[in-house]
Structure 1
Amino acid sequence: MCLKRGRTLLQYAISPAVWLGVWQLASMAVGMDLLLPSPMAVAASLWKLAGTPQFWLSALFTLGRVCQGVLGGVALGSALALLTHFTVWGERIFAPAIRVMRATPVVSFILLVYLWVDRATIPAVVAGLMVLPILWGNLTVGLESVDRQLLELARAYRFGRWKTLRLIYLPSLRTHFASGLLNAFGLAWKSGVAAEVICPPALAIGSRIQQAKVALETPELFAWTLVIVALSLGLEGILRRVVHPREERGQ
């Protein structure tokens, strides 16, 4: 058992070790921390940042904004998927608008939302707008692929709308919802941080990235980037365990 765990840890450690080595060699070849800081310089900067309350508050506020946007996007995307599937007028009114939303670049959303809402609210709104069309698309596909024989059986047994939704539609939509949420969360996280960089609030990771760029603090810029990546991977891992608990146990 210990030998197996050791091999597993070694397999996971090989890739980071190789890329850290490449990073170190590239930094030595460049010879300027302003252009490409070494891993040790970035680690020192990260350690220094972690000792300040602003670091934790910035990470917490960014996380809160993105989660607010994700929850809003999930709620609206789910409601619109049901509306466009079960009503003709919902399909005609909302489906074209959602498709346009899906084709619009993130930067355009950020700049447009900046005209309408408070700066601190922009990341949450942008994150929600990124989640909505993805979840709507996945749930729409799921609703269209529900087994017709099960629906006929529900009609034969005179199931009500709520009972049909609970016993037939929701189990069929579980996989589509989970995959859509996982895909949407990564995009929401990146777009939320991008919105903070372009329209920096008072306390946010994006604001600190913007400040580091203006001050030419490249090690700090890399340190905040590592924080973004670490939080994204950690949150996606937690979310994956929540939406796919059986698969995680099987592994």
Structure 2
Amino acid sequence: MLSFANAKINLGLHVVGKRSDGYHDLETIFYPVKIYDVVEINPIQTGVTTFSSEGISIPGDDINLCEKAYRIVKQDFDIPAVAINLIKRIPIGAGMGGGSADAASVLKMLNETFNLQVTNAQLEVYARLLGADCPFFIENKPVYATGIGTDFESINLDLNAYYIVVINPGIHVSTVEAYRGVEARKSEFDLRTIVKLPVQEWKFYLKNDFEDSIFEQYPRIMELKDALYLSGALYASMSGFWILCIWYI
């Protein structure tokens, strides 16, 4: 079975509190975009589950999230081994959820391939064991995300009438560095209300709290955002550590 695992973007991001466990409470909008990895699983009658990948190189020697997804399901169901093949196209470390999308695709494909009849709610429980934004890719619909990015509220948002472009500024900013420069505070505007405004008004209200400190350290990213507005973008902002922009079709 073959699946196209899409990426996601963040529309706005507010850091609203520091938790006792060291994590931060966030508010953001997750929106699926048409940038894909390709994930395939094939049952193996004998042997053990295997994983292979091509395309963008995946760093590290840890077990891939796709394999972890299989192991989680295997704990509850007597399913055979599978060969997992991945064509990696979603950039790694960009905040676009590529690894989470791949793992969620494996969960859904195992459910369908072996007729496990697991509900989406249960698939989301499995997904929470794999990563903060992994549950989003089960339903794969726009949500208002809170907590550490795992508490979802469905929202009505359709951007199919627009071009969405995601740009790599060629600058790496670590998560630790990004959080060091931001101060947790309650947001002034409700993201759910902002995204109901016309897209051309988002630039006045829809903010990413990481931008101020990162732009100060890396003015080239701010220059890129400004250039996008000069080129006619309706909205431009950081999403993860990349820049997204929206144009009319």
Larger radius of gyration: 1
Return the structure number with greater strand share.
Answer: 2
Return the structure number with greater helix share.
Answer: 1
| TM-score, with structure 2 as normaliser | 0.25
| TM-score, with structure 1 as normaliser | 0.25
